[in-house]
Amino acid sequence: MTIQRHDTKARMSRAVIHQGVAYLCGQVTGPEARHEGIKEQTESMLARVDALLKEIGSSREQLLSATIYLKDGSDFAAMNEVWDAWVPEGYAPARTCVCAPLPADELKVEITVTTAVSS
């Protein structure tokens, strides 16, 4: 059994791949948008997802599932506007969106992604 771990630290790995499926750790906005609104934070967060997908040999078209955590449910529509523009037509993953506290006060959104990886 082969398990690949990417950028592993004491607490977690940024991605873990097993049998052609990659599990990404939670992604939040980059520092450039940390104090911005929900749309800017969502765009920054999804750009970070794109970078990690590329790093592990996957893409938006290979997404299997996504769990989105919103600090405030009133941001749902604005976050969805950015999400809908980001997901390629015909490739929407299974998705869950929940309201939850996030690890830093200024964060508005976090995402966890599972994706297929080309072998």
Structural domain includes residue 11: no
pLDDT-derived band at 110 (thresholds 50, 70, 90) equals: very high
pLDDT at residue 8, rounded to an integer: 95
Structural domain includes residue 14: no
* 44, part of any domain: yes
Q: What is the mean pLDDT of residues 14-32?
A: 97
pLDDT of residue 77: 99
CA dihedral for 55, 60, 64, 70, sign (positive or negative): positive
pLDDT band at 118 (very low <50, low <70, confident <90, very high): confident
Domain with 75, as residue range(s), is 25-113
Residue 82 in any domain: the answer is: yes
Q: Is residue 109 part of a domain?
A: yes
Strands (E), the chain: 3-8, 13-18, 21-24, 63-70, 94-99, 109-116
In-domain check, residue 13? no
69: Cβ–Cβ under 8 A, 6 or more apart, which residues? 26, 97, 98, 99, 100, 102, 109, 110, 111, 112
Closest CA to 49 of 73, 71, 30, 34: 30
Please report, for the domain that includes residue 101, its CATH number: 3.30.1330.40
Report whether 111 contacts 67 (CB < 8 A).
Answer: yes
Looking at residue 1, what is its pLDDT? 83
pLDDT tens digit sequence for 69-102 = 999 999 999 999 999 999 999 999 999 999 999 9
Does residue 55 fall inside a structural domain?
Answer: yes
Look at residue 2 and tell me if it is in a domain. Answer: no
Query: How many domains does the chain fold into?
Result: 1
What confidence score (pLDDT) does residue 21 get? 98
Q: pTM of this prediction?
A: 0.95
